[in-house]
């Protein structure tokens, strides 16, 4: 591609890669930095959604990237028309750079509210498609260019809408900017698109419904929210003739809490039943498996509680994609996707005979692990205020000012009475109850009481790796900063917790976190 400079070619290669990267992993920002150089706006190691929910600031560099992409694509298009871009690799870079341009102009995170409305209003959707198709034809319907079949305009339109739905749901359901939450967002993205977006676009999107996702984690960590983000972000094919998304009306999320229902009701809810199939079945009823369309999702919550007799029937559905309503022998086809969740250790349940091993191996192709609230707040204590505000907004949706005030009040109360020592055994669900208690009574008492571990259980006389530290200390070979770093690391190596270390040292836990040295901790623990 001689008509491009070496720098422009590197930029084209980066644009060709950026559309296929997981936006919640560091690689995305590395590519942005590679393209923008000194103009790159840094905002951390990974992309986070701002607490103010200002969608246009999610990707700080998107406007700058689009500006550069427009210029680059314009020059490359001239190369295509003049025959200077005739090699397949050169044409590939052009096509994939065009996709970034089309997404940036017609979709992008800045347009999420428009995109959400457009899916539900045929007039707006038709307008969006017309504008998109016009731009698509201008850049890609060229006699000198032969796009692959997976670059079909309607398919690209469908992929772009799916990407925006995924952004919407991931950001709507997952609050916080900690590293555990960033990893969870990246994991959800892979559950939707796999780790290879190129392969997904080329055809894997057709098979994703056949792969069951298992969400694991402690009670109250938001497993159903993760399931919703995955289930509601599935691919929907756009029909350019009808200007509608196919099966969109059946692209729903069907949740079933298995621990809250008897075996008979579970079968009825899942498989449906015929009239007279059991006592009280005065008429037939379709189950979730039949109601679920090709792009719908059935969510089985607490699957570790499922009776073994129903486990056999579920296993058959997963193996054959067919089922029969209770009281009927007519086989029906299940067209949708399964997402399951559990807070149990399924390996242990298998070992004691409560859960079928063959069913587990049908569930474990894609596993998503949710972090605890304690893990999130330990990594980033500032998330406490964001989380309490989020809970308050949901509690007082029509009173935004009061919600903000309540969120701040709850966060201050928690910091004053709990500090960083409370483990939040009920996780997000318990935090919600805490905010409600603060709203009503300006206080919160955990059901089991606050148990702050005693420092007496952490003896320091037997800890390893201290000889060299003591020798250097007595010889006067260490600076004051080195002494404080060694001692903070020594205490942390024994307690394993910043809040307990801060109590022992009598300083703020944030100062402890700054002073603790990972290499020294590892040395003391050996």
Buried b (16+ CB within 10 A) or exposed e, 195-206: eebeebbeebbe
Torsion (CA) 485, 487, 488, 492 in degrees, nearest 10: 130
183: pLDDT strictly greater than 90: yes
pLDDT tier at 48 (50, 70, 90 boundaries)?
Answer: low
What mean pLDDT value characterizes the chain? 85
Half-sphere exposure in the Cβ direction for 268 (13 Å, CA): 17
Question: For the chain, how many residues are written?
Answer: 526
| Low-confidence winner among 72-81, 115-124, 217-226, 477-486 (lowest mean pLDDT) | 115-124
Look at the pTM and tell me if it is higher than 0.75: yes
Residues 6+ apart with CB under 8 A from 486: 469, 473, 478, 517, 520
Q: How far apart are CA 123 and CA 128, in angstroms?
A: 9
Residue 304, token pair as written in the block: 């570790």
Strands (E), 363-497: 366-369
Highest mean pLDDT among 173-177, 342-346, 515-519: 342-346
pLDDT at position 487, please? Answer: 86
Q: What is the three-state SS of 158-192?
A: HHHHHHHHHHHHHHHHCCCCCHHHHHHHHHHHHHH
- Lowest-pLDDT range of 85-89, 183-187, 351-355, 432-436: 85-89
Per-residue pLDDT tens over the stretch 230-287: 999 999 999 999 888 887 766 689 999 998 888 888 888 899 888 777 766 768 788 8
Please state, in angstroms and rounded to a whole number, the distance separating the CA atoms of residues 428 and 387. Answer: 9
**Does the structure show a pLDDT above 90 at 173?**
no
Is the confidence at residue 520, as pLDDT, over 90?
no
| Residue 213: band (very low, low, confident or very high) from pLDDT cuts 50, 70, 90 | very high
The predicted structure's pLDDT at residue 2: 64
Nearest one of 29, 74, 251 to 158, comparing CA atoms: 251
Q: How far is CA 204 from the centre of its chain?
A: 20
| Tens-digit pLDDT profile for residues 85-128 | 778 888 899 999 999 999 988 886 544 444 444 445 667 788 88
- Three-class secondary structure of residue 297 per DSSP: strand
8 Å CB contact between 173 and 368:
no
What does the pLDDT average to over 134-155? Answer: 87
Per the model's pLDDT, the better-predicted residue between 481 and 408 turns out to be 408
Q: Which helix (H) or strand (E) holds 254?
A: strand 253-257
Q: Whose structure tokens read 């603060």?
A: 438
Element (H, E) at 244: strand 244-245
> Which two three-digit tokens encode residue 455?
């420092």
How big is the CA angle at 198 (ends 192 and 200), to the nearest 5 degrees? 35
The per-residue pLDDT for range 234-245, each reduced to its tens digit, is: 999 999 998 888
């Amino acid at each position: 591609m001689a008509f491009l400079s070496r720098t422009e070619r590197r930029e084209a290669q980066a644009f060709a890669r950026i559309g296929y990267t997981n936006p919640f992993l560091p690689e995305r920002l590395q590519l942005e930095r590679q393209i923008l150089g000194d103009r790159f706006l840094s905002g951390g190691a990974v992309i986070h959604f701002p607490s103010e929910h200002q969608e246009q600031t999610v990707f700080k560099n998107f406007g700058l990237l689009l500006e550069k992409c427009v210029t680059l694509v314009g020059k490359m298009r001239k190369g295509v028309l003049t025959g200077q871009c005739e090699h397949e690799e050169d044409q590939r870079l052009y096509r994939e750079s065009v996709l970034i341009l089309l997404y940036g102009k017609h979709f992008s995170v800045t347009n999420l509210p428009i995109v959400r409305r457009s899916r539900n209003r045929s007039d707006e959707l038709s307008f969006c498609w017309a504008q998109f198709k016009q731009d698509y034809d201008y850049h890609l319907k060229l006699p000198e260019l032969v796009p692959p079949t997976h670059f079909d305009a309607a398919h690209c339109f469908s992929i772009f809408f799916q990407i925006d739905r995924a952004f919407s749901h991931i950001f709507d359901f997952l609050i916080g900017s900690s590293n555990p939450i960033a990893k969870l967002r990246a994991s959800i993205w892979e559950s939707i698109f796999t780790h290879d977006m190129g392969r997904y676009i080329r055809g894997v999107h057709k098979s994703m419904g056949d792969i069951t996702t298992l969400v694991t984690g402690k009670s109250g960590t938001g497993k159903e929210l993760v399931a919703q983000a995955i289930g509601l972000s599935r691919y929907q094919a756009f029909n350019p003739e009808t200007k509608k998304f196919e099966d969109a009306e059946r692209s729903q999320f069907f949740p079933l809490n298995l621990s809250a229902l008897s075996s008979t009701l579970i079968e009825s809810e899942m498989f449906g039943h015929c009239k007279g199939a059991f006592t009280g079945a005065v008429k037939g009823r379709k189950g979730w498996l039949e109601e679920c369309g090709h792009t719908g999702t059935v969510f089985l919550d607490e699957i570790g509680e499922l009776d073994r007799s129903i486990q056999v029937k579920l296993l058959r559905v997963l193996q054959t994609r067919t089922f029969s309503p209770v009281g009927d022998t007519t086989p029906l086809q299940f067209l949708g996707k399964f997402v399951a969740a559990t807070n149990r250790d399924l390996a242990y349940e298998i070992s004691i005979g409560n859960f079928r091993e063959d069913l587990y191996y049908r569930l474990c192709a894609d596993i998503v692990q949710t972090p605890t609230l304690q893990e999130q707040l330990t990594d980033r204590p500032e998330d406490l205020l964001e989380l309490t505000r989020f809970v308050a907004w949901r509690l007082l949706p029509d009173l935004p000012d009061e919600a903000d005030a309540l969120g701040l009040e709850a966060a201050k109360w928690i910091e004053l009475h709990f500090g960083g020592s409370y483990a939040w055994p009920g996780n997000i669900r318990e935090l919600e109850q805490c905010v409600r208690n603060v709203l009503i009574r300006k206080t919160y008492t955990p059901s089991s009481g606050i148990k702050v571990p005693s420092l007496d259980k952490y003896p320091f006389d037997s800890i390893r790796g201290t000889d060299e530290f003591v020798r250097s200390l007595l010889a006067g070979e260490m600076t004051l900063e080195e002494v404080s770093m060694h001692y903070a690391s020594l205490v942390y190596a024994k307690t394993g917790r910043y809040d307990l270390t801060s109590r022992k040292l009598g300083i703020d836990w944030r100062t402890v976190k700054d002073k603790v040295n990972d290499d020294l901790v590892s040395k003391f623990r050996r």
